[in-house]
Structure 1
């Protein structure tokens, strides 16, 4: 037992000889990072530190009497006499602005494009020229470690992910999420947080971590207005106009924005299918609309120094319809042309969503104990009308008549209400937080299929359906963090979620009921060996629930020979995420992670060999392991050049858990990215960004190599006018290609290019006070909204 006792003594000897002083520094609106915190005795500095990005600080000191001083440029120095006898939590310390100092000096800080924390990577959007003048989707395309393919977002090595707006999960996914994010101007976003291992406070949904979009707001006693006009040119073109207004005065904090775009972009797709008797080469040329209008509004009112309540609204209307021509060329097994068919489709889409959040925060004492309450309501409607006909052509291109003609009408209506309560309780040795959430979701979906071959609309009841789905979730969590000694910090959490669902197909009287309860633990350890070396470990368990549309058993026809169908029997999948990392001199970060997904589900491309139909469905069919080794590093020793880079090696191993006739492709991927900024002069910057993904196998698919290169130029004029230009995917090699799979012995190869190569020019004009801070309010029904695709 002696070695064990010696180990215990060494681990905790520092805490026996000294005490820890902790606290949080804020102003009237938010936390203050990088504030100076010092302890003095008789005007002599004994020790000191700076606050973290979260405004937190901790100091180790021997017992005694001290004077605490906190200072930050533009604020009055905070002074407090303290008597340290044991560990002391000072709670939240409020700094008051110094109006004279603010008028006399202009503060310029140099933030990195990328910052790293124990559980996330932060991408500072304001430092990226590639994001200027674009929208939320453009920002995500250039966010390091984030991939966007086929309107599906994922974190590299983690799989499909979810998006949060100001810390609240978005209720949308897929096409609807992309349309919604297109409504955000890049200039309205201050930073993107890529959270690879979310804490217990967040919903457990999402196997692949979280992406948190933090929006801007104005500073205290200031107002600001920013207007941006952007023009984007590909084969077609579209124009976007965005306006943001921020106002903060005394007890009121207000921000509002409106964004609209109009125009089109080209969307090209190709699919090659090798049947036993012939080969289909399918080319799709689409002209897709970008028409949309969106807005957001947030207001907070400080009832007192300790209580604030507020309201937040987000909403948009999008019409991402597409006019497409599909030409299918059919060859025999000797690659000799036999015939073709031409499909013309007009797909009209209108989506509307509205999110409302009411919140109240009350500080219960001066030591940091507080309670917050959120109530959220969300509604989403989607109406789609697909009008198409297919014409058969002979070998010489002569028409053989119309083989099919139909109108397919689909609609979806989702409503969700949720409420959540959170309590923070700082104790002497640990900061605890706990809370609970309830969520109620109702969704109604339907499809009407009309055969129009005769020239009349004839309802086909066999291809028309209604689907109702209800989901109720009850959740509770607790989490805590503690500084075990000078070098070791621990954070832990446990979340419980009880889920009840019922899906009803009214036309077939089919009912599917699910009840399941699960625990979701999280653990983080951070060990600081010295100023140059920091080690981190994290573990978290997650759940991934199917999107509502994926559960709907209706057929949505794409053309004569292709349709998509939902699966009401889909089950959620679960993932275990482990990560170990080492940060050296705050520049070199080495990490190794393992993501294990059980009962995984995904899109499954099935083929009816006899009728030569393409069926896109969803199945639970795999268990998956993803191993990721990453090395990231930054360079900023030259005043005019800054660079952020990462190199990744990923290994994918998939095991089939269902007896399906498909080939599993396990393999290794090499992925690298580099973001470089050249400061040409005080007003002009050039940015060169690139990423490369090697050919690799993953699950049922193999994916061809991709290379994306873009250049951005930004110039600031003296009259608050900013010009930005971006040349994206200059070589046109960054779009999805050679996406291959073999199912039921049928080989398929898919590629897509949604105007990856394009040029954007933007003009931005700001007036008012330029100070900008961050508003960190969230929606409580984010997961339900996310799944509304």
Structure 2
């Protein structure tokens, strides 16, 4: 409770940390007199000392407050500046920015901005964050405000799990393999992370909580640069990686190449209790995991003409994963007497590999900004899983119980291919900005499972438990959206996306074929009201879909012990989500939102316990509807050039109405509070400190009651050799607070699980940049980045 009070007090006090001052107002427009929205404005003193920074709103307006004096106003994305002598409230003439001479990547000597608040998303500039330096993409997500990462599961507090895009391309991978992909992407190759809570109609409708878009760096015009780096990570065991990045942009050609390789070793643990009638089963697991990772990236863009740019992009991620654990179960009666034990040895490994290829075209249709983009995507994913397990039941004296020995080996080859074609057309007019497009996608998956009985010591193929399952999915989509600036105060955007889906799953062993076909509409709407430079209001609505993971549709049974098995559900249906939110923003720094979410046909993998046999069946079910009402608030304090703070909270009430006999209806509150701070420690801006802290009080989420968790990360970055050499020290989960106790009921039987993901550690990273930023050349226009195909 003290932590909560501290955060609320800090959030309330931050807006009042600076005194009343004179107001500077103005507008930024381009040479066509069009508003330059969300453009950074900086105020520096007469001796070039950085003082303030802000951003224009959707109408191009800006305002800031300063004491009387002589200043210079700088527009970040151009070479424009304005001198002024401030002696009272001042309205400045419009600053005109010429699009043709805008300086991409213009670098100021003062601290770069860390966050941008846009109408539909929050943009986190990873390259300017101390805590993300030297890590990988998963580390960068941990440092992203409003994003939570626990045990490699990525979510938005109050919203739930979220889908990930890389350069606008959706990644549909199992959580474990998605984490491996993100670990193969060095953080120093990431430009920004966009947290999109209400995606526009041009994006796929998949994802209940919106999308997180990881934008990779691109080469600056007329320059080449390279980066090499290494990091060492100490948790329970030692880990480390090497990485390299090369970028080249000259005349019509742009090339980007990256590679990373690393070894990771983790020790995770869990302790669970199942309270059967008359008996309690306690299981302890310590899992040793080793990952060998390789990530590759290559992009080539070529400008065929002034209007037409084309490009190829390849990305690959390859992991070899091995794990060993020894689950040990103790059976205890109501009086605390130990009645028996189950000892198991598990040896597992898998080798997920991903290859993705994109060919895109960006064609400028005229000088007014009309543009056509075409994307062709291919995605190939293959993983070979092997799991060997053996065990025995013991009596209370730890002697083997006759006829209870079990031993088997499961081998599964999972292969996924996806083909996608997408086109987008942007049509800006004076009366509105129109966007429309279409997408075709085809996915083919195949699972080949073989089960071998090892009880005799030699493998014997079990044909009854082996199976081949294939699944096909076709998806067609059309969308149309329009954005309109009605006047200086009012702006709006509406969109409609139509998606049709046809699926077919076939189990060769069971000779079962399941087909499904549906189409749905997904509207989006935004309305913004800005009465003055300090205040803005907005309301938005979106409808989204959460499709079942491909593995969940496989009907076959996989056993890992006599008391546990998992099976898919070919009848699983997608969930549909309605989101509506109302937001108020003060000075483009303090953002407050009230939101409501409804989930129809919520699905989740459940562990269903049979109290008669003590056997647990794990299977996905559409088991309920969810209603959620919440409040979020955060404040970005950046009035002082040496301190940038982002502090906020999210609290919500959630009600789940169960539609299955296995799960009870639940209701309750949950909350999340956080503060991310970056400090500049010296005048030469070569030493930086990052301090991030978050706490999740005990609360109810879906069917789970989760105990209090908290995390403290501290990092320091030192620049030398003209800022080309970077040394970063990071302490992760310093207080070792990521050990939640999760409680839930299944078939009226209580389950308690306490887990630890080996989150506390120390990382040291070294990175060196070099290159030439002044190649003499004609300017190169930037093509739009394309959206990744949906693939699992």
Match of 1:204?
A: 205
Query: What is residue 435 of structure 1 aligned with on the other side?
Result: 437
> Which range is displaced more, 568-577 or 454-463?
454-463
Equivalent residue, structure 1, for 2:514: 512
Aligned to 1:721: 725
Closer/same/farther in 2, CA of residues 447 and 774 from structure 1, 3 Å limit: farther
1:222-261 matches, cutoff 5 A? 222-261=223-262
Residue range with higher mean Cα deviation, 364-373 or 169-178: 169-178
Q: Does 1:634 align with 2:641?
A: no
The CA deviation at 1:379 is 0.8
TM-score normalised according to structure 1 size: 0.86
Residues 396 and 713 of structure 1, relative CA distance in 2, 3 Å threshold: farther
Q: For 1:96-245, list aligned pairs within 5 A.
A: 107-245=108-246
- Tell me which of 694, 698, 715 is aligned to 1:695: 698
Q: Which residue of 2 aligns with 1:760?
A: 763
Counterpart CA distance in 2 for 1:173 and 1:281 is 28
Bigger CA drift: 349-358 or 400-409? 400-409
Indicate conservation of the 8 Å contact 2:189/2:217, yes or no.
Answer: yes
Q: Distance in 1 between matches of 2:330 and 2:101?
A: 70
Question: Which residue matches 1:412?
Answer: 414
1:734 to 738, 758, 767: 738
Change (3 A) 1:348 1:440: same
User: 1:76: Cα distance to partner?
Assistant: 7.4
2:676 is paired with a residue whose SS is: strand
Q: 1:651: Cα distance to partner?
A: 0.8
Per-residue CA deviations over 1:2-28 (Å, capped at 9, x if unaligned) read xxxxxxxxxxxxxxxxx9955488xxx
Per the TM alignment, residue 107 of structure 1 is displaced from its structure 2 partner at its CA by: 2.8
Pairing of 1:140-539 with structure 2 (within 5 A): 140-400=141-401, 403-539=405-541
How far apart are residue 92 of structure 1 and its match? 9.8
Per-residue CA deviation, residues 170-191 of structure 1 (Å, 9 max, x unaligned), is 2324111111111011111111
Give secondary structure in 2 for the equivalent of 1:259: strand
Q: Conserved in 2, the CA contact under 8 Å of 1:91 and 1:366? A: no
Structure 1 residue 276 displacement after superposition: 1.2
Equivalent residue, structure 1, for 2:646: 644
Q: Is the contact made by 1:481 and 1:490 (CA closer than 8 Å) also made in structure 2?
A: yes
Structure 2 Cα separation of the partners of residues 177 and 601 of structure 1? 20
Provide the residue aligned with 1:608 in structure 2.
Answer: 610
- Contact 2:352–2:384 (CA under 8 A) maintained in structure 1: yes
CA RMSD of aligned residues (A): 2.9
Distance in 1, matches of 2:563 and 2:216, equals 44
Change (3 A) 1:187 1:423: same
CA distance in 2, matches of 1:603, 1:525: 37
* SS of residue matched to 1:225: strand
SS at match of 2:294: strand
Q: CA deviation at 1:713?
A: 1.3
1:94 is the counterpart of 2:100:
yes
1:540-585 Cα shifts (integer Å, max 9, x gaps): 1001101111111233334442232211111001001101111101
8 Å contact kept, 2:290–2:322:
yes
CA 1:74 to 1:461, structure 2 compared with 1: closer, same or farther past 3 Å?
Answer: closer
Distance in 2, Cα, partners of 1:405 & 1:780: 46
Q: Is the 8 A contact 2:670 2:698 kept in 1?
A: yes
Alpha-carbon distance between aligned partners in 1 of 2:783 and 2:563, rounded to the nearest angstrom:
48
CA contact (8 A) 1:157 1:595 kept: no
Report if aligned partners of 1:419, 1:780 keep a CA contact under 8 Å in 2.
no
Shift of 1:271: 1.6
> SS in structure 2 opposite 1:138?
helix
Q: Between Structure 1 and Structure 2, how many residues are aligned? A: 721
**In the alignment, is the contact (CA less than 8 A) between 2:145 and 2:646 conserved in 1?**
no
Deviations 1:499-541 (A, max 9, x none): 1111111111111111101111100111111011011111010
8 Å CA contact 1:34–1:53 kept in 2: the answer is no
How far residue 699 of structure 1 moved from its aligned partner, in angstroms, is 2.5
Deviations 1:40-81 (A, max 9, x none): xxxxxxxxxx99699x9699xxxxxxxxxx996797789xxx
Contact kept? 1:219, 1:771, Cα under 8 Å: no
Partner residue, 2:789: 782
Residues 121 and 193 in structure 1, CA contact (< 8 A), matched pair in contact too? yes
Q: Distance in 1 between matches of 2:186 and 2:520?
A: 38
Deviation of 1:776 (Å): 7.8
Aligned equivalent of 1:64: none
Give the secondary structure class of the aligned counterpart of 1:129: coil
1:738–1:72 distance in 2 versus 1, CA, 3 Å: closer
Show CA shifts across 1:224-257 (max 9, x none). 1111211111111211111111111111111110
Q: Which runs of 5+ in 1 are unaligned?
A: 1-18, 26-30, 37-49, 60-69, 79-89
Instruction: Return closer, same or farther for 1:219/1:24 CA change in 2, 3 Å cut-off.
Output: farther
